[in-house]
Amino acid sequence: MSGRRPQEPAIGVFDSGVGGLTVFRRIAEALPGEHLCYLGDTARVPYGTKSADTVIRYARSCAAHLQVRGVKMLVVACNTASAYALDVLSAELPVPVIGVVAPGARAAVSRTRTGRVGVIGTPGTVASGAYVRAIAALNPAIRVYSQACPLFVPLVEDGWTTGSVPEAVAARYLDKLAAKGVDTLVLGCTHYPLLRGVIANVMGPGVRLVDSAKETAKAVVETLRDRRMLRTDTRPGRREFYASDAPETFARVGARMLGGRTPLTQVEWVDV
Ligand code: DGL
């Protein structure tokens, strides 16, 4: 018999690809002592342009994959997967499931002063109406204006986060939203925090930007604390990264998502 002790369970985080590392990064900053296990479904990215049925099927297989690894909580870092599949996953899994939509909606509701909120996301997230419903459930008087920004994801993945090209694309998507007089804008997609500067320029100084990644990390901390599930050991937690397509591409693009500070040296290919 081997004397190896079973590994302590990690917080499982999944996304359609590398974008969810913006959420992973915030969780890692907030909870350095927790074990974190990230799965990027890079073989099937993007989710943002796919149908609800397909996204739910993909999300289920990612969740099942992480569950086999014995996670104690599941974080759906992908806005599109949260928008379409959170209810299904919450009903099916034996562990707490946290998505990015509810935390972002809560932050927007608490920050708006004018009651006019903008939401930007993938075509799927916007079509699902998930943010609109989540905000209405908290305060039905708030008016929500949504806009899909499909070109933002490829721009970020290619590293085009500043300069005339993203500025022109952002102006095209956001001018109308800015004209609606929203005072709060939810960055409802994993990639959009990297375009924060460009988005802020178009929206103007009076508009607060809600970073769903940051808000989700807060929700993870609160949920683990409330359920007394925080790891008590003060040593740094382990970090595991899995990708369903080329691990070296995941590592290269993913490093940008982590702010370039954390090298992604060990990424394992997995078949989801
Ligand atoms: N992760 C997705 C989201 O937050 C963006 C990339 C994709 O379309 O898969 O909605």
Parse the chain into domains and list their residue ranges.
10-99+215-269, 101-212
Cβ neighbours of residue 76 closer than 8 Å, sequence gap 6 or more: 14, 59, 82, 85, 86, 89, 97, 98, 99, 100
Which atom of ligand 1 is the closest one to the Cα of 100? Answer: 4
Report how far ligand 1's centroid is from the alpha carbon of 211 (Å).
14
Cβ neighbours of residue 45 closer than 8 Å, sequence gap 6 or more: 16, 17
- Assign domain 101-212 to its CATH architecture: 3-Layer(aba) Sandwich (3.40)
> Do 176 and 156 form a contact (C-beta atoms < 8 A)?
no
State the residue for tokens 């796919």: 50
132-157 pLDDT, tens digit each = 999 999 999 999 999 999 999 999 98
| Predicted confidence band of residue 169 (pLDDT cuts 50, 70, 90) | very high
Query: Rounded to whole angstroms, how far apart are CA atoms 29 and 24?
Result: 9
170-191 pLDDT, tens digit each = 999 999 999 999 999 999 999 9
Which atom of ligand 1 is the closest one to the Cα of 47? Answer: 9
Q: Any idea which fold 10-99+215-269 has?
A: Rossmann fold (3.40.50)
3-state secondary structure of 147: strand
Hey, what are 116's tokens?
């006019």
Report how far ligand 1's centroid is from the alpha carbon of 3 (Å).
42
28-86 pLDDT, tens digit each = 999 999 999 999 999 999 999 999 999 999 999 999 999 999 999 999 999 999 999 99
Query: Rounded to whole angstroms, how far apart are CA atoms 33 and 234?
Result: 6
Side chain identity at 204, as an amino acid letter? G
Is cis: bond before 46, omega within 30 of 0? yes
Phi, psi of 148, deg, nearest 5: -80, 140
> In terms of pTM, does the model score above 0.75?
yes
Residue with CA closest to ligand 1 atom 2: 78
Catalytic residues: 78, 189
> Do 209 and 192 form a contact (C-beta atoms < 8 A)?
no
